[in-house]
Amino acid sequence: MKKIGIIIVYCITCKFGLAQTLSGTVTGHGKPLQGVTISVRSAHKTLLTDSAGFFSLPVSGKTVLRFSFTGYTEKDTAVDITGPATLSINLEPVEEELEDVVIVSSSRTNSRIEDLPTRVEVLGMEEVHEENGIKPGNIASLLGDIAGIQIQQTSAATGNADMRIQGLPGKYTQLLRDGMPLFGGYSGSFSILQIPPLDLQQIELVKGASSTLYGGGAIAGMVNLISKKPKTGNPEKSFTLNHSSLRESNANLFFSGRNERAGYTLFAGGTLQDPVDVNKDGFSDVPSVKNVFVHPRIFLYGGRSSTVVLGYTLGFEDRNGGDMLAIDRKANDQHPFFIRNRSWRNTADITWEKSLAGSAQLTVKGSGSFFNRDISTHVFGMKGRQFTWYTEAAYSRKTERHSWVAGVNFNGDRFTKQFPDSSLLPDERNNVVGFFIQDDWKLHDKLTVQGGLRTDVHNRYGSFVLPRLSVMYRISGALTARVGGGWGYKTPTLFNSEIDERDYRFLAGYLPGTQAERAFGVNSDLNYHTRLSNWKLTVNQAFFYNTVSHPLLLTQPAPPALQYVNMNGSLQTTGSETYVQAAYDELELYLGYVYTHARRNYQPANPNLPLIARHKFATVIAYAFSSRLRAGIESSYTGRQYLDDGSTTQPYLFTAAMVRYAVGKMAFVLNCENIFDYRQNKHHQVVFPPYTNPSFPEIWAPLDGRVANLSMYVKF
């Protein structure tokens, strides 16, 4: 009987075959490819390669494996497996499609941009690198070039700036660095003025409600700054020097390197800006700025499947504006006015990514940031410290039809006054724990549905349930439609960009019964991308709607004390974004238009939200004359804006031009902004008496005027 059993097992094995392990790697351009779809034709199974391009699957006998990846030619490979075996597959790129492959890390599933039901806009390495030659000190100008984003100066003295998306104030936008919120709160509106572009690989932007994955604060949208990573066999050593006609000097350097086990990146840079009185009224239109920014990161690789990233950020800034004599330390009874902000930021972060079986990945990350800000004016001074922290664990998996992620995070902040202090400000502590899940379900080759749900529990403001739904339909190979919406919330915070530092002494917190703001938003777009002969053409038409219920405003219930209170009404923004982008050989063209209707329904006598342009146009023309010489010119038209009292401003035209010339390992950029020198202080008074303690109007146009800069970039 034993012999008969052995014979039967042997026959079954010969007939059907025992499953054996087939493993291997998939590469393209000599580099591992993550997310390659592998289809087992005979078993109707699929799986995806991990971050190292590795796969492993059980196969028996003869079968055909199909390897497919956007931007590369499909490849069928026949195998006959009788024992453990390995494969090495190299995919050939399709040159015409390769340029469209963008991996978006903000999706948490590292998906390609064209596969996402949520519209994600990406400023890639080329745009970021170009900005390094134009504005190497910060990314404010780069973000302001994106349709639907308005960078609004909020202080004539210190040059603070607010980033507004789809007409909503900046406090409703979540700003992230490598997926972790490191800015906001007591740091006010300085964050985008302190981040240099040389340290970045790309910038990912989601407009509209994005709270499912990144928390309640992402009402107007989310901006994720992705840091550079080291590349095997491709170390980078570069530095940038820059000087402008408005007496700004920048020096930045970046190093990176990697082997099989470890890697590193290092950014270090600084800015020195002298104060400038452009209109000669005795007050600075450009403040004095001294800052230093250092960002080293260490990468540890555990074979094919594990990566640990350790990072540290040091930031220091001294920003001083006001009466030119007071800034120059020559203050007297007639010239005492100044506002000075000195800040220090120390941040440590860690990320661990582990590839698991079945194209799954586990990510654990955390960060802690200590921010100190010392405010001094001629009438008041205060010091404060804010500690913010963020921790998260997320599990993601991709199959042929699903890309899903689930996780939990715990984050919060603690603000503490440092004595001596004469303000009414209370100390504040916020904690929130959140649970989230999201799935991109490919119902059909043309139809993908994204559903998500988040639940947050806040220590002071209770629980929030935030669902989200998006749908993408591929109408044709060239035309794609998306529509999606979701809910969000914003908990009250003591600080925002609209408060003059002199008024912090009167800020006394919140009126009793203050609640979190609730929000809902819908976004849709049609995107057409094709080739017409030698032309590459993209046309995008988007629509948006956002509403924030019971927005928080600063009031003066018992002068001089200031307190926040929820208004009986809402903020609403509706509008559209239209752009056409075309390229012919070395010629690039862009034409864009944004319409924004922003209303504050709690103020029926004056319902228009201030400082939001109803109409904005933008054009860009760029041409590469050779591999060495490139030039471009861009213009933007900003229509009338409403002011707080209901009056309107003048429309204005802003034009800039750039020439870039490369020779050897060096590149020189000559750039001129605001060529026609349009300035608010050229046509209107921007400082009102008494000049010993002046007041300022709303800033709706540039104050610095025409400015030229020359930069040198060296890569060695």
Reported as a single tens digit per residue, the pLDDT across 427-465 is 999 999 999 999 999 999 899 999 999 999 999 999 999
Average pLDDT over residues 476-488: 94
Residue type present at position 484: G
The pLDDT value given to residue 18: 55
* In the chain, % of residues over pLDDT 90: 62
The pLDDT value given to residue 22: 85
Average pLDDT over residues 9-23: 54
Q: What pLDDT band is residue 372 in, cutting at 50, 70 and 90?
A: very high
The pLDDT value given to residue 424: 83
Query: Does the pLDDT at position 665 exceed 70?
Result: yes
The pLDDT value given to residue 3: 46
The pLDDT value given to residue 7: 41
Reported as a single tens digit per residue, the pLDDT across 49-66 is 887 888 888 877 788 888
Residue with tokens 């972790």: 180
Average pLDDT over residues 258-280: 96
Reported as a single tens digit per residue, the pLDDT across 593-633 is 999 999 999 999 999 999 999 999 999 999 999 989 999 99
In this structure, of 167-181, 255-269, 282-296, the range with the lowest mean pLDDT score is: 167-181
The pLDDT value given to residue 4: 45
Distance CA 487, CA 168 (A): 15
Reported as a single tens digit per residue, the pLDDT across 524-565 is 999 999 988 789 999 999 999 999 999 999 998 888 889 999
CA atoms within 13 A on the CB side of 54: 12
Give the C-alpha distances (Å, rounded to integers) separating 41 from 47, 76, 77, 360. Answer: 12, 10, 10, 22
Secondary structure of residue 272 in the 3-state scheme: strand
Reported as a single tens digit per residue, the pLDDT across 380-409 is 889 999 999 999 999 999 888 899 999 999
Q: Residue 463 burial (CB < 10 Å; 0-12/13-18/19+)?
A: exposed
In this structure, of 75-79, 599-603, 671-675, the range with the lowest mean pLDDT score is: 75-79
The pLDDT value given to residue 98: 37
Structural domains for the chain: 14-95 (2.60.40.10), 103-715 (2.40.170.20)
Query: Does the pLDDT at position 13 exceed 50?
Result: no
Q: How many CB atoms lie within 10 A of CB 222?
A: 26
Query: Does the pLDDT at position 34 exceed 50?
Result: yes
Q: What pLDDT band is residue 2 in, cutting at 50, 70 and 90?
A: very low
Query: Does the pLDDT at position 211 exceed 70?
Result: yes
Query: Does the pLDDT at position 660 exceed 90?
Result: yes
Reported as a single tens digit per residue, the pLDDT across 212-240 is 888 888 888 888 999 999 998 889 999 99
For residue 6, give the H/E element and its range.
helix 2-16
The pLDDT value given to residue 221: 87
Query: Does the pLDDT at position 197 exceed 70?
Result: yes
- Tell me the sheet residues that pair with 273: 248, 289
User: Could you tell me the sign of the dihedral formed by the alpha carbons of 234, 235, 239, 240, in that order?
Assistant: positive
Contact at 8 Å (CB) between 209 and 517?
no
In this structure, of 238-252, 341-355, 484-498, 682-696, the range with the lowest mean pLDDT score is: 484-498
190 closest CA partner among 297, 293, 311, 294:
293
> pLDDT averaged over the chain?
89
Distance CA 23, CA 58 (A): 9
